[in-house]
Structures are given as structure tokens and as C-alpha cells.
Amino acid sequence: MENSLCWASFQKIYIISSLFPETETLPEVETEEQDELLRPWKVLVLNDPVNLMSYVVMVFRKVFGYDETQATHHMKEVHELGKSVLWVGEREQAEGYVYQLHRWRLQASLEKDD
């Protein structure tokens, strides 16, 4: 519930701004750009010295629906290796996850999955 509410709020603002497009015809999306959009993206969480381990585990559980074991595994990876890949998939959904992580004040970013 929490996840959909946060992302819904962001989407609402974005959709409203999209209701008033430019009047000129938009160019067709290039094949290269389409390929780019279809490539999988990684959601990365980076280590930070502020957030508590218990807080990070809780956020991973809320945002990704992970169980305690999975969430703790990723938290330890972030803590020990400096980052962890939390999710891989299409760009739009990955952006949604990064937004939710930012909402919880975790350092998160997107990276192409090569």
C-alpha cells in the first residue's frame, strides 16, 4: 500500500504535466531509443553512514516486498561492499523503485544492466 501511494503521487504530478503536450507533432521514437528503453536496468542502493541497518532492512521489505532474510542479505551487501543491486527490469518500474527509495532517503540510482 505504502509503495503504490508514494509512486502514485509522483505519477500523478507527471501525468498532469503530460496532459498539456506541445501542439507540434512529436518525432517518432528512434529504434535505437526503443532498444534502449527495453534494455534491463538495475536498481542500486549505495552505502551511507546515516541510515540504521534496521531502517534499511525495513525499507527493503516495504519497497520490494522482500522477506527478512533477503532484505538483510542486501543490507549487508550495501554495508560491506558499498552497494547492492536490489532489482533488475524495465526502466519505468526501476525508476519507480528508485523514487520510493529516495522517498525513504536512501541513496539509490539506476544503471544499465550489461
Partner 1 sequence: MIEFDLQVPPSFLEALVPFLGKVFRETSGRFAGECFAPPDSGDEELDAAWREGLIEEGRADRLAFSRLLGNPKFVQGLVEVPVNDVDDVLRGMTELRIHLREHGLNSVNDEDLENGLIQVESLPQNVRISYLAYILLAEMQERLIREIS
Per-residue contact track with partner 1, 17 to 36, x per CB under 8 A?
Answer: xx------------------
Under the binding rule (CB under 8 A), the answer on residue 105 touching partner 1 is: yes
- Strands in 18-82 per DSSP E: 41-46
Residues 102, 86, 53: CA angle, nearest 5 degrees: 70
Which run of H or E residues covers position 58? helix 53-64
Strand bridging mode 41-46 / 83-89 = antiparallel
* Closest to partner 1 by CB, 2 or 90: 2
Is the Cβ–Cβ distance between 114 and 107 less than 8 Å? Answer: no
* Closest to partner 1 by CB, 77 or 95: 95
* Closest to partner 1 by CB, 11 or 73: 11
Under the binding rule (CB under 8 A), the answer on residue 13 touching partner 1 is: yes
* Closest to partner 1 by CB, 19 or 31: 19
Under the binding rule (CB under 8 A), the answer on residue 110 touching partner 1 is: yes
Q: What distance lies between CA 112 and its chain's CA centroid?
A: 12
Q: What are phi and psi of 59, to 5 degrees?
A: -65, -45
Binding site for partner 1 (CB under 8 A): 2, 6, 9-10, 13-14, 17-18, 49-52, 54-55, 58, 62, 95, 98-99, 102-105, 107, 109-110
